[in-house]
Structure 1
Amino acid sequence: MTFFGAWTQGIRFSPRSLQSILAGRSCLRAQLHQSSALSRGVFRELICRSKTATSSSPIASLRFANLRGGERHFSLRASCRPPFDPRFFSRNASTIPAELPVLSPPPVARWLILSSVLVFAVIVVGGVTRLTESGLSITEWRPITGVLPPLSEAEWKVEFEKYKATPEFKLMNHSITLNEFKDIFYMEWGHRVLGRLIGVAFILPLAYFAVRKRLTATLPKQLFGMALLLGAQGALGWYMVKSGLEDSLMDTPGAVPRVSQYRLAAHLGTAFVLYAGMLGTGMAALYDWRYATTGKWGGLMGDNVQWKAMLENPLVKRFSRYSKALTALVFLTALSGAFVAGLDAGLLYNEFPLMGGRLAPPQDELFSKAYAKAPDGSDLWWRNIFENPTTVQFDHRCLAITTYTATAALYAMTRNPAMRAALPPLARRMMVAAFGMANVQVLLGIGTLLYLVPIPLAAAHQAGSVMLLTTMVQLLVSLRRPGAAARAWRQALLAKRGKA
């Protein structure tokens, strides 16, 4: 009940009592204890928002009388909200000092991490779609109406007739039945719908957080860039599928209906960039919030965490540079896997570590002149690297071995006593996780090769590449300095405590 409402009920406030109530900084939630019986429902709760910057005594006296006469004595307990209540972070309200920047609250971090989980899921589903050869079953790109699958038998027959006109049906699946077509159709449809779901789950909360001014100053440009990239990803996916539907494949001797490995790599690479961007930004926002509110950074906690001195340590700087290089190597290795998948190169040389009984295939096989299209053979090197299945598998092996060796070497660095003492505890734990995931990924890759690319192992291998990238992104975030907004809030909180 407001002051005006209380007044209309016949309650009179003394001026001194009102001054005591209005002296608080935040809202005062009143609990009124009567010394004698008072009419039920006259006064349940008193809420007052102050206009001053300091708070007075937590207990104030309030004396009033009703129209019937008779004094009533109440004690007003002031439960003032602390000036750094997390609910007021990153709001441009009067309770926040104007000089402090906006700091994104935990819901922003959770939204970004959830978005990255959805991207992870669509990468795995896309891999299964490719392995089951379902990607060419939908021959049109309908961003809006394509959300619904065929709902009647007549509609299914129409879609099936469209598929019959594709090179894949004519060259490979000419004996497929309608029920078998439904299986591959639903696989590709699920992949596309999940992509649309990611767009809605990312863009709508982004608009909400932007309008409510919940985003740290550095975030809007990054997040709107991700939104644009997310929209372009859908168009890129159709551009990739379209390459496998071209009628020119029918005129090429020995051609296999499949999407372009270049477009597949671009599609997968964009998904990796989106995943790493969403995950890294979300983790950074979460760590900034924890630092601002608790002082926790890098696994350390306290008002005097010397994060700046730790990051300026030459050993930590060197480790950070190596971590960034290793992350780039993990990304490049995963991208080379897209070329392996696009060319079905995993079906060649199903042994490890040798290839045909030797460490490397013959040179004339690695750099076959059959792949050169220029009259002078000037494109021999790069076309073999990207279009020769044997060379593509060999390159992927070399990159995988290099990535594993580099991960093991970086992990060994953390076992050095000097480096161990210099690194934040969280960075050491993330390095252990990265090395462990690298071992799992190597075993999955070898198993996929030896067993002729079974779908469960191959899908797990692709998911493993995302998990390895995840550990590296978290490692980089653990070596990141707190953001400017988080530092400003932390300093203000410490200054407030010092005055208390």
Structure 2
Amino acid sequence: MPIILFGIVVLGGLTRLTESGLSIVEWKPITGVIPPITFSQWEEEFEKYKQFPEYKLLNYNISLSDFKYIYLMEWSHRMWGRMIGLIFVLPAVYFGFRGYMSRPIIKKVAGLAGLLGFQGVLGWYMVKSGLSEELLSTPGAIPRVSHYWLAAHLGSAFLLYSGMLLTGLQILRDSKIAYDFPKEVAKILANPSLNRFRSLAICAAILIFLTSMSGALVAGLDAGLIYNEFPYMGKNIIPPKSELFSKVYARFGETSLWRNFFDNPTTVQFDHRVLATTTLCAITALWLYSRRLTLPPKARLAINFVFGVSCIQVTLGISTLIYMVPIPLASAHQAGSLTLLTTALYLIHTMKRIPIKI
């Protein structure tokens, strides 16, 4: 399941990068499974698309052939989501009724199933935010989904992926413990000197998640298309205060300048730079700290992967910015964020104590 979820996150990123997400203007969970087939059906869908802001403000010169491309991209994303629901829920129900899952696992699986359904609802509200007719009456408005809904949709996908990954890893570990688990590994993990390292590993994973969510805000505001240089933003590393805290984004007067952190593309990009740099420094410090500790082989391998992937991810991020967000690099950067989170979660998993007698 985590592999399939990883795939839909990458596909969702491609859907956004190709500006395909607003091509299907209706949510039909059942009948939407079948795409248009005949010429008249395609014409009907195209006419529906023409009624909304993206066509009127941005894609008014689009051809039917171009529309088919973006439609099928979004349709594939939605179908992948439906497939995940079937692949996860049906076997879970079967194994649950057959008594193959313990009560704690059943509770976790039920929670994940609920989050999966919630993820679909979030996806539709995200799309709906980009179909609002208010965009037509707003000067300079760009037809795109709300960056808040985009961040919420991506965040729930990351949480769902994390939950499934950790649950799967725990099931595999419990199975191994039930048969034969190396006593020497259990002894190492029982050492109190590793408690601080465990806590720091969890903090690193949280920091990775927050950095990824700030990246969603960058993507939603197209903030990666400004200040395409690194480490400078203009003449300095830090942009002018007037740009970071502009009154344009203070919706309720000067006292709400804090909204710049979420609505101002300059501030959002700067925040993402700061978070990414902080994350890299934190992971580097954690890796250096791990050299002083006695860790199990899998944990040692995991922290090395976390450090290596973090370096690659930062390189991808800088390259995506400098080359003005080309689709291949941007997609790889988004995939890299989930890969980095995966390695951090695996590190946390390998550091769990073993409930067996040593």
Aligned 8 A contact 1:123 1:271 in 2: yes
Is the partner of 1:440 in helix, strand or coil? helix
Percent sequence identity over aligned pairs: 54
Alpha-carbon displacement from aligned partner over 1:1-49 (angstroms, at most 9, x marks no partner): xxxxxxxxxxxxxxxxxxxxxxxxxxxxxxxxxxxxxxxxxxxxxxxxx
In the alignment, which of 176, 191, 196 is matched to residue 290 of structure 1? 176
- What secondary structure is seen at the aligned counterpart in 2 of 1:138? coil
Determine which of 378, 381, 403 is the counterpart of 2:255.
378
Report the Cα distance in structure 2 between the residues aligned to 1:366 and 1:235, rounded to whole angstroms.
33
8 Å contact kept, 1:287–1:482: no
1:154 matched to 2:23: no
State how 1:184-195 maps to structure 2 within 5 Å. Answer: 184-195=70-81
Q: Aligned partners of 1:187 and 1:315: how far apart in 2?
A: 50
The equivalent residue for 1:448 is: 320
CA distance in 2, matches of 1:195, 1:378: 41
Task: Please point out which of 323, 334, 345 is paired with 2:223.
Answer: 345
- For residue 218 of structure 1, give the secondary structure of its aligned residue in structure 2: helix
Distance 1:245 1:281 in 2: 37
2:283 is aligned with 1:407: yes
Partner Cα distance (2:56, 2:167) in 1 = 46
Cα distance per residue 1:55-85 (max 9 Å; x no partner): xxxxxxxxxxxxxxxxxxxxxxxxxxxxxxx
Structure 1 counterpart SS, 2:205: helix
Which residue of structure 2 aligns with residue 230 of structure 1?
A: 116
Distance 1:378 1:199 in 2: 44
Please list every run of 5 or more consecutive structure 2 residues that lacks an aligned counterpart in the other structure.
Answer: none
Deviation at 1:208, TM superposition (A): 1.1
TM-score (norm 2): 0.98
CA drift at 1:480: 1.4
Aligned residues: 358
Distance change >3 Å, CA 231–CA 131, structure 1 → 2: same
Paired position in structure 1 for 2:341: 469
If asked which structure has higher relative contact order (CA below 8 Å, sep 6+), I would say 2
SS at match of 1:258: coil
1:398 aligns with 2:290: no
Moved >3 Å (runs of 4+):
309-312
Does the aligned pair in 1 maintain the 2:17–2:327 contact within 8 Å?
A: yes
Structure possessing the higher radius of gyration over alpha carbons: 1
The 5 A counterparts of 1:239-250 are 239-250=125-136
Which amino acid in the other structure matches residue 174 of structure 1? Y
State the SS of the aligned residue for 1:263. helix
Q: Does 1:427 align with 2:313?
A: no
19, 37, 43: which one pairs with 1:133?
19
Q: Which residue of 2 aligns with 1:30?
A: none
Q: CA deviation at 1:190?
A: 0.3
Is the CA contact 2:190–2:353 (under 8 Å) kept in the aligned structure 1? no
Structure 2: how far apart are the matches of 1:162 and 1:482? 58
Partners in 2 of 1:259 and 1:452 — Cα distance? 20
Matches within 5 A, 1:96-115: 115=1
Aligned equivalents of 1:415, 1:444: Cα separation in 2: 26
1:169 and 1:438 map into 2 onto residues whose CA distance is: 39
Letter in 2 for 1:240: M
How far apart are residue 321 of structure 1 and its match? 0.3
